[in-house]
Amino acid sequence: MVTPAPTYDLVLLLDSKVEDDQRAKIRTDVRAMIEAAGTIVRDEQYGTRTLAYEIEKRTDAAYELLQFKGPRELLEQLDRTLRITDGVVRFRIVKLREGMPSAPDLRQAPGPVAEPAGEPAAASS
């Protein structure tokens, strides 16, 4: 009996300072590699966000999430290609366990709520 291919998350952090055309080409090339050997389950573009810490003097990056199914050889090809691709700040491929909830839709997530400055509000009686 053939076991189904596992599902993987590929998180890409693309340099926000490179041309939009170059970021689009990276996305297109990655999608083509995955579709040649596997299947894309989900493709999300979360936009430019501030990094938790500076990476090579960059403070923000364009975040992407690709969920896909594919063989181990595809992982090796993606790893090799993304390591040498200009415009890729960081990437991570994670194998998802069975029963994991789907990734949240971060495009709709509200920003942090700022506390009002000044005196704290008095408790009502």
What local confidence, expressed as pLDDT, does residue 6 receive? 87
Tell me the backbone φ, ψ of residue 45, rounded to 5 degrees: -115, 115
Question: How many structural domains compose the chain?
Answer: 1
pLDDT tens by residue, 47-60: 999 999 998 899 99
Report the CATH number that the domain containing residue 41 is assigned in CATH.
3.30.70.60
Task: Report the pLDDT averaged over residues 3-20.
Answer: 90
- Residues 16-47 pLDDT 10s: 999 999 999 999 999 999 999 999 999 999 99
Model confidence at 98, pLDDT cuts 50, 70, 90, reads confident
User: In sequence order, which residues have a C-beta less than 8 Å from that of residue 4 and are 6 or more positions away?
Assistant: 69
pTM higher than 0.85 for the full model?
no
pLDDT averaged over the chain? 84
Structural domain includes residue 36: yes
Our CA angle for 12, 18, 22, nearest 5°, is 70
Q: Is residue 12 part of a domain?
A: no
- Domain of 79, in residue numbers: 19-91
Tokens of 43: 């493709």
Per the domain annotation, does 82 fall within a domain? yes
Q: Provide, rounded to the nearest whole percent, the portion of the chain with pLDDT above 90.
A: 67
Is 97 a domain residue?
A: no
Structural domain includes residue 14: no
Residue 101 lies in a domain: no
* Residue 3 confidence class, pLDDT cut points 50, 70, 90: confident
User: Residue 50 domain-assigned?
Assistant: yes
Residue 47 counted as domain residue: yes
- Residue 99: the pLDDT is 65
